[in-house]
């Protein structure tokens, strides 16, 4: 069985980590699949999906790391007039933070539930908000 | 068919790369699945799963990179009294190295074997040991 | 249903990002699978697979980031005589850039097509070319 769900998040900040574990678990419950896998993937190139513990102090450390590794004031090529856009590209850092973080996570589904560690929450990472963002949750199994 | 296995590693160092390819291959053999996929995912937020070549000199380079990008002596918010813990959080670097490395790998299964490159070994990354750690190996297919 | 395809790329540069979205979509079309998932995984440890927007200016920013985080002139252990190789290892940076980028991507398949965002292209990352490189594309579903 294959069950695909999409949902939209309206982010409110330029850069933000948003806990979407509850949404993912709803998709798994709705799928009716008892045994298999679930993967969660963003449909955008200036966002990411990751797993980590949900603690305000930790999410701020994660953000500081992304800003340290991908300097907001660095010199980027993707920050110039793009004819295909008809405007100036202004989000090189979002694309690069996305590259470092990754586009998806995957977990087993067992007994109809996402099998994750007790501290593992699933985060949507907004690196060029505020925007409306689409996330796909696919459940496969029996 | 869906076959899920879990195994536990007792790590012995604060930070370490442990080759778990043999364990993963045992799970695939035991599953009886001939054609499909296997994914390996950690159940913890201060550990990671990655693939790379198994060479002592290379694992030390990987470790040095993680320590360079996520400075052990940096200023972190997740290094303070946490009421929900009842203690001081002391492992911000583990969470951040985990974020950069990733929580899982995925490979095809063909002819009942993990289809990986000749140099590709599967590593469990301990970033806050020594601890007992749980890893899930799921095989899906026919 | 499980459909596994392999293809080979002959890279031409030391470090390069190569858009393989067309190849992946051909594999999905050929599989005949209408609903499920596709994952793309490299078979090498000095290469990677990632997703991002296809823009020359952006790929150069991605490359600069990898070179900034993994310094070409850094001190590495994996840059010495290796008896098992019979030669000097000279590609520590390739292994480390591979570790940061990741070995695979995964997307849903819906209506027989890769379900990806409008800006999401799939890239093969060469970090130690020029070489012949093997990539696996596996489609699973119904």
Separation of alpha carbons A51 and A104, rounded Å: 9
- Residue whose pair of structure tokens reads 């819906």 in the numeric block: C110
Residue A9 and residue A133 in contact, taking contact as beta carbons nearer than 8 Å: yes
The pLDDT of C123-132, averaged and rounded, is 96
Using the predicted structure, report yes or no on whether residue A16 has a pLDDT greater than 90: yes
DSSP C23-90: HHHHHHHHHT--SEEEEEEES-SSEEEEEE---HHHHHHHHHHHHHHS-TTS--SSSSEETTTTEE--
Contacts of A131 (CB under 8 A, 6+ apart): A10, A11, A44
Task: Tell me the average pLDDT across C75-104.
Answer: 84
Mean pLDDT calculated for residue range C54-78 = 94
- Nearest residue in A to C117, CA atom: A43
DSSP chain A: -EEEEEEEEE--SSSEEEE-HHHHHHHHHHHT--SEEEEEEES-SSEEEEEE---HHHHHHHHHHHHHHS-TTS--SSSSEETTTTEE---HHHHHHHHHH-SEEEEEEETTEE---TT-EEEEEESS-S-EEEEEEEEEE-
Q: Does B140 contact chain C (CB < 8 Å)?
A: yes
What is the C-alpha separation between C78 and C89, in angstroms, rounded? Answer: 6
Task: Mark yes or no for CB contact B39/A110 under 8 Å.
Answer: no
Cβ distance B61 to C95 less than 8 Å, yes or no, reads yes
Helix (H) or strand (E) holding B7: strand B2-10
Inter-chain contacts counted by CB atoms under 8 A, chains B and C: 86
**Residue B84 has what DSSP assignment?**
T
Residue C80 confidence class, pLDDT cut points 50, 70, 90: low
For the segment B88-117, the average pLDDT, to the nearest whole number, is 95
Smallest Cα–Cα separation from C21: which of C47, C42, C50, C59?
Answer: C50
Going by C-beta distance under 8 Å and a sequence separation of 6 or more, which residues neighbour residue A80? A88, A89, C57
Average pLDDT, chain A: 94
The C-alpha R_g of chain C, in whole angstroms, comes to 17
At A73 the pLDDT is 87
Residue A80 has pLDDT above 70, yes or no: no
Alpha-carbon distance B17 to B27, whole Å?
A: 20
In 3D, which of B136, B138, B134, B137 has the Cα closest to residue B11?
Answer: B134
In eight-state DSSP terms, residue B124 is E
Which pLDDT belongs to residue B67? 96
Hey, is B101 helix, strand or coil?
Answer: helix
Instruction: Indicate the pTM of the whole model.
Output: 0.96
pLDDT band for C82, please (50, 70, 90 cuts): low
Any A CB within 8 A of B51 CB: no
Phi-psi region of B86 (alpha: psi -120 to 50; beta: other; left: phi over 0): left
ipTM value of the model? 0.95
Measured between CA atoms, the residue of chain C closest to residue B54 is C45
Chain B residues with CB-CB distance to C42 below 8 A: 117
Segment among A83-92, B95-104, C15-24, C50-59 with least mean pLDDT: A83-92
**Average pLDDT of the segment spanning A46-53:** 98
C98 touches B at CB < 8 Å? yes
> Does the beta carbon of A136 lie under 8 angstroms from any beta carbon of chain C?
yes
Least confident window among B121-125, C11-15, C76-80: C76-80
Asked if residue A71 has pLDDT above 70, the reply is yes
| Cα separation values, A74 from A78, B46, B87, B94, C21, Å | 11, 29, 38, 27, 29
Evaluate whether B20 touches B125 at the Cβ level (below 8 Å): no
Task: Give the least confident one: B92-106, B110-124, B127-141, C72-86.
Answer: C72-86
Is C110 an 8 Å CB contact of chain A? yes
Which candidate from A65, A102, A115 shows the least CB-CB separation from B102?
A102
A47 has a pLDDT exceeding 70: yes
Mean pLDDT, chain C, whole residue set: 94
Is residue B73's pLDDT more than 90?
no
Residues of A whose CB is below 8 A from B76: 57, 61, 64
Mean pLDDT of C52-60: 95
User: What is the distance, to the nearest Å, from the Cα of residue B4 to the centroid of all Cα atoms in its chain?
Assistant: 17
Residues of A in contact with B82 (CB under 8 A): 55, 57
Residues of C in contact with B60 (CB under 8 A): 77
Cβ pair B96:A50 closer than 8 A: no
Q: Which chain A residues are closer than 8 Å to B103 by Cβ?
A: 50-51, 105, 120
Q: Is the pLDDT of residue C83 over 80?
A: no
Q: Which residues contact C30 (CB under 8 A, 6 or more apart)?
A: C3, C5
**Which pLDDT does position A82 carry in this prediction?**
63
Q: Which two tokens stand for residue A93?
A: 């850092």
pLDDT of residue B106: 98
User: Which stretch of B10-14, B87-91, C132-136 has the lowest confidence by average pLDDT?
Assistant: B87-91
Residue B78 has pLDDT above 90, yes or no: no
* C-alpha span between A120 and B45 (Å, rounded): 6
For the cut 70, the answer to whether the pLDDT of residue B3 exceeds it is yes
């Amino acid at each position: 069985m294959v069950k695909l769900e999409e949902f939209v998040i309206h982010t409110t900040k330029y850069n933000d980590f948003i806990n979407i574990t509850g949404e993912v678990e709803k998709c798994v419950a709705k799928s009716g699949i008892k045994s298999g896998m679930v993967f969660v993937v963003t449909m955008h190139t200036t966002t990411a999906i990751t797993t980590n513990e949900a603690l305000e102090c930790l999410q701020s450390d994660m953000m500081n790391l992304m800003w340290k590794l991908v300097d907001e004031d660095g010199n980027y090529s993707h920050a110039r007039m793009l004819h295909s856009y008809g405007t100036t590209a202004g989000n090189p850092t979002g694309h690069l933070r996305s590259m470092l973080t990754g586009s998806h996570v995957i977990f087993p589904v067992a007994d109809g539930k996402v099998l994750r560690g007790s501290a593992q929450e699933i985060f949507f990472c907004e690196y060029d908000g505020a925007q409306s963002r689409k996330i796909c949750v696919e459940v496969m199994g029996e």
